[in-house]
Amino acid sequence: MMYSDNTVTLPAETLSVGGLTAYLQDLIAQDEHLLRLWVMGEVSSASDRGGHLFFTLQEPDGTAAVQCVAWRSLRSRLAADPTPGEQVLVLGQVRLYPQRSTYQLMVFQLLPAGAGLQALRRQQLQDRLQAEGLFDPEHKRPLPRYPQTIAVVTSPQAAAWGDIQRTLGERYPGLRVLLAPAIVQGHQAPAAIARAMDLVAQDGRAELVILARGGGAREDLDCFDDERVVRAIVTCPVPVITGIGHHRDKSLADLAADCCAHTPTAAAEQAVPALGDLWQAHCQRRQQAMTTFQSAMQMHYERVADARRRLGQLRLDQHLEQEQQRLGWLRQRWVQRVRYELQSAQRHCDALGQTLQSLDPEAVLRRGYALVRQPQTNTVVAHVDQVQVGDTLHIQLGVGAVTAQVSAVHSAHEAQPPPTGDDRG
């Protein structure tokens, strides 16, 4: 290259950007092998856009990849549609796109060749981790309802970091957000993500972790199917939300996380409640409390008014007079009852007195009978066998008593009535 004071002399072989692209296109067009060639690879991602099939073929170890397209007009000729994880054999033509400086394989035919090696490895790893219980639902931890500090594991240059910051700031102002930087694409990503997760655990301030990455091709997300990332999520001391940004597939990191979202923004929305929603819920609860209180007060007012109305309808003086009359009537009944009971008791006592009087031994004696006792034993003589001639007896009369001596004893059938006055005459 030659320089002068004001001008630059360019070499004769210098090309413009367009010229370089045209030169490469000419090289591809002159190579008959690139115009029709067979390529075998593993489908890492596939999508249908307006009838056109766009998919990516890659090496089983992920070291190389090529973008492919099957136009809608040629799609009916394909033996099968591309399915992520399957090994396929495609026939196509290499095309160069100048605007993006990329090349693409335009596919004429696609033949299935069995399950891809990378998909088999991923399935084997998933089965082994599943057997260990790392994906069990009962191990999922609940997210904190009102976190104060959240850690984000992502690339500082990724759009996901900005989306998460903006969403968290809008929904939950005042939240402390910590960044644990990590590579989130490529072969170095698994180790970087695991180190970032360990850093969050050692720091100890975060109550929740968001592991995020923006959208991309499925092969760009292979790092989230790495065993190191899965175990870092499971061993994290706080809940983990993944927002890897892939709607169609779930990575092993998504299966291990306590909660997963399709995008980093959705992950941030699940991490914290919206301040506006909290305020609206608070206003609703306050309104419900006021409504309940007013309803209770209105019910009590109605009860008091009803009591006043019923009280006003009552004639207290009339009610008092009725009560006095009722009490007077009860008093009269009780007085009559007591008098009747007293009279009955008096009559009963009189009858008992008469009975007692009729049974009084002294009354019997006053009617002319005598009570004979042996003075030695003071026993009543009731039979002639109790006395003998010569015994001294004590005879109690109706008035006074005499002491007599037995001169004769007569048996019961020999007993004679006492002599009367006529007999003595």
The answer to whether 240 and 270 have CB atoms below 8 angstroms apart is no
Residues 81-97 have a mean pLDDT of: 88
Residues 6+ apart with CB under 8 A from 211: 153, 154, 193, 197, 233, 240, 241, 242, 243, 244, 253, 257
Residue type, 60: P
The burial class, CB within 10 Å (0-12 / 13-18 / 19+), for 59 is middle
User: What average pLDDT score do residues 68-94 get?
Assistant: 89
CATH label, 11-116, candidates 3.90.950.10, 3.40.930.10, 3.40.50.150, 2.40.50.140:
2.40.50.140
pLDDT band at 419 (very low <50, low <70, confident <90, very high): low
Q: What percent of the chain has pLDDT over 70?
A: 88
pLDDT at position 365, please? 67
Q: Which of 35-39, 239-243, 357-361, 413-417 has the highest mean pLDDT?
A: 239-243
Q: How many CB atoms lie within 10 A of CB 137?
A: 5
The whole-angstrom separation of Cα 62 and Cα 186 is: 9
pLDDT per position as a tens digit, 101-112: 889 999 999 988
pTM for the full predicted model = 0.49
Give the range with max mean pLDDT: 213-222, 224-233, 310-319: 224-233
Cα–Cα nearest to 261, from 167, 147, 126: 167
Domain ranges of the chain: 11-116, 132-273, 274-307, 315-345, 360-407
User: Mean per-residue pLDDT for 352-377?
Assistant: 76
Residue 423, pLDDT > 60, answer no
> How many CB atoms are located within 10 Å of the residue 73 CB?
9
Joined tokens for residue 63: 């070291």
Average pLDDT of the residues in 25-41: 86
C-alpha torsion angle, residues 6, 10, 15, 18 (rounded to 10) = 10
The more confidently predicted of residues 95 and 100 is: 95
Task: Using alpha carbons only, give the angle 297, 300, 301 rounded to the nearest 5 degrees.
Answer: 85
Contact predicate 162/190, CB 8 Å? no
Q: What is the pLDDT of residue 54?
A: 93
Residue 128 tokens read as 């082994």
Q: With 60 as the cut, is the pLDDT of residue 25 above it?
A: yes
> How far is the C-alpha of 352 from the C-alpha of 362, rounded, in Å?
17
Please give the Cα distance from 232 to 198 (Å, whole number). Answer: 7
Q: What share of the chain is helix, strand, coil (3-state, %, to 5)?
A: 45, 25, 30
| Residue 262 scores a pLDDT above 60 | yes
The more confidently predicted of residues 389 and 335 is: 335
Token pair for 84: 């992520």
Fold classification of 132-273 (topology level): Rossmann fold (3.40.50)
List Cβ neighbours of 20 (8 Å cut-off, separation of 6 or more). none
Mean pLDDT of the chain: 84
Tell me which H or E stretch contains 365. Answer: helix 361-366
